[in-house]
Amino acid sequence: MTIVYRDALEADLPAIVQLLADDPLGAQREDASVPLLPAYLAAFQAIATLDHQRLVVAVDGERIVGTMQFLVVPGLSMRGASHGYIEAVRIVADLRGRGEGERFVRWAVAQCRDAGCGTVQLVSEGSRTAAHRFWQKCGFVPSHVGFKMRL
């Protein structure tokens, strides 16, 4: 298995949405039926137009086995350092627990470091205790309290 990471293409959207829907929380909030909802294409196009944001996929041959979005936000805090934000990390079910997710995250962290980030942050749904263990294994610490407002 040789997994490569690359920027997502529009043609990757069905596989990406399927990955997002492939867990108990995602199954409640995503719709992976084809044709995809137009909102997914609109979101992809919005992400693709921003230089500081990337939607990436992990690919094994022709198979998309993972996805994540990350962005670099310039900041004034920490002496003007940029900050990386990781979002929506998913690995296909049959590869979970094999280290692929950790390699993928380490790659994203390196991308943020190369972009001059002083920190990399993320939020994780409070009920995802297995994900919290994963993030700590990757070197993240639960140092802040996150808040969210659904609109």
Crossing angle for the helix pair 129-137 and 100-114, to the nearest 10 degrees: 60
CA–CA dist 72, 40 (Å, integer)? 22
Residue 126 confidence (pLDDT): 87
117-121 vs 82-91, strand pairing mode = parallel
CB atoms within 10 A of CB 63: 12
* Beta bridge partner(s), residue 84: 72, 120
* Beta bridge partner(s), residue 146: none
CA–CA dist 112, 86 (Å, integer)? 10
| Tokens 């230089």, residue located | 51
**Chain centroid offset of residue 37 CA:** 20
Least confident piece of the model among 14-18, 21-25, 44-48, 91-95: 21-25
Mean pLDDT score, 60-65? 96
pLDDT digits (tens, 9 = 90+) for 87-143: 999 999 999 999 999 999 999 999 999 999 999 999 998 888 999 999 999 999 999
Residue 32 confidence (pLDDT): 94
SS3 147: coil
Identity at 65, one-letter amino acid code: V
Mean pLDDT score, 59-75? 96
